[in-house]
Every structure is written in C-alpha cells, then in structure tokens.
Amino acid sequence: MKKLIISAVLLLITACYLIPPRPEIDLADFSADEIARAIAAREGSITSIKGMAKIKIQTPFEELSFKQVTIVQDPDLLYIEALTLFGTTVAKLIFDESGGVLMLPRDRLHFEYGEKFNLAYIFPSLPLSMDVFELVDLLLGRIPDGESLGDEELLLESEQGLLVLRPAFWPDRQKLYVNPENLLVERADILLNDGSWVTIEYGGWKVVGQDNAYFPSKIKLSTEKFSISVKYSDDTELNSPIDKTLFNQ
C-alpha cells in the first residue's frame, strides 16, 4: 500500500513537469483594439441556447449539484427549471419583455422588467442578485459588457502566458485574460460596487455553425464566499429557433 501511494505521488509530480508552460508573449504582435473586436464579435455570435445543464454550487458550508433546463434568448427571454435527481421540478424562473415570475412548489414571486432578483430563491446558499440581462449574458457564456469593449481605451499587458485587457480609465475595474492563440477569454475578473471581486472562468469551448462561432460549455462564477458552475450537455442546441410560448407566465 505504501509503495502504491509513493508511486501515485511520483506520477502526479511527473505529470506536472510534463505540462509545458505557456510561451512568453510579444505584445508587439497584438493590438488591444484587435482583441476587443474579436471578443465583441464572439459575444454577438451566440444568441440563444436550449438544453440541459449540470449546476454545481459550493459554499463554505455545503456543496450542491443538480440538473437544470436552460432556455435563453438574447436579450431578455429566460426559462430556467431546476430539477431534483429524480427529475421533479424544484423551481422555475421565467422572464420575458413583461417581467418575470419565480414558480416555487407553494409560492409565486413576480418581478418587474429589469428588476434584480436574488438567485438564492432558486439556488440555495447563493447570495447573488442579478437582472435578467446579466443572467442571460452569463448563461450565453458572455463576459460582462463584452459588446462595448471597443467603446473605451484599453490597456494591453501579459501575465503567465495570457494576454490581459484592462480599461485605461479605471484599470482595476476589470481584467480579461485572453488566450493569445485564438483570442478567446478564459477568465474575467470584475470589481463589484461593494469592493468585492467576481471571477468568471470559461472553458470547454465548442465551435458552432457555419460561422465557426465559439461557445464555452463550461462556465464558473466565483467570489470569496461561493461559486456556481454551469456545464452544458453535449446535445445543447445553440442559435436554434426557440418556442416563444415557453416564456408564457
């Protein structure tokens, strides 16, 4: 048993050394405006999603996993149905241009159009408030304010083999870590109004459609106190027609 443990440790150490570090970046080969345009173009390439996702929530006190039906269409159509392991509905959250409703087993909560709502209603122990536009963007794999990146001056830096974009006017407000090979955002660090930070990580990239649009099938939002991960199933439909009657309240 002792030999087995030692062998496993040595194998792990060897594997770590076999992973090559990312090469150094010559910033002269890149332009902040070029990267911003590439990010903005990708942000607008995925406009709807329909499929099943596995949700994982971690807090200092518990870890929770469940499946979720996710149907979203830019900019404000949203249908989320949280399911138990046996497929029964725990909660539904539906939004359209008239507002939103949260359907619980013994209650219904209504929200005005554009009003922020607490995700803890659906995801226990998740003290995060968002409006429908922010939640749609998150589920579509977008970065906050990604389509407006080209509207302000940006600073371009490098860190650990990744390109880093920051707004020149307020450099500490946001940092985008961009893969230099494909100009995809792997991570976004965002400063909130209360002084805390949110990190959003994007992975599991898939190429969609004739335009070769990229979509992250894995999304993780983290703060100091909690994290929520979204992992879409392989048969998730992107940019396909959405039945608008699903959003009837």
The predicted pLDDT at position 5 comes to: 47
State how far the alpha carbon of 119 is from the alpha carbons of 95, 128, 148, 225, 229, in Å.
Answer: 14, 6, 26, 15, 14
For residue 85, give the DSSP letter: T
Pick from 37, 70, 210, 67: nearest CA to 138: 70
Nearest alpha-carbon partner for 121 in 112, 113, 133, 111: 111
Residue 22 gets which letter from DSSP?
A: P
User: What are 60-64's contacts with CB under 8 Å, separation 24+?
Assistant: 60/225, 60/226, 61/125, 62/125, 64/123, 64/124, 64/125
Close Cβ partners of 205 (under 8 Å, ≥ 6 residues apart): 184, 214, 215, 216, 217
Measured from the Cβ of residue 143, the count of other Cβ atoms closer than 10 Å reads: 21
Walk along the chain (249 residues) and give the pLDDT tens digit of each residue: 555 445 544 445 444 455 566 667 778 788 999 999 889 888 888 999 999 999 999 888 888 899 999 999 999 999 999 998 888 898 899 999 999 998 888 888 888 888 888 877 776 667 778 889 999 999 999 987 665 566 678 889 999 899 999 988 877 888 999 999 999 999 999 887 777 889 999 999 998 876 678 999 999 999 888 899 999 999 999 999 999 888 887
pLDDT at 27: 82
* Cα gap 90→93, rounded to integer Å: 10
- Angle, alpha carbons 223-226-229 (nearest 5°): 95
pLDDT for res 145: 66
What was the pLDDT predicted at 168?
85
The alpha carbon of residue 72 and the mean position of all alpha carbons in its chain are separated, in whole angstroms, by 13
Predicted pLDDT of residue 187:
96
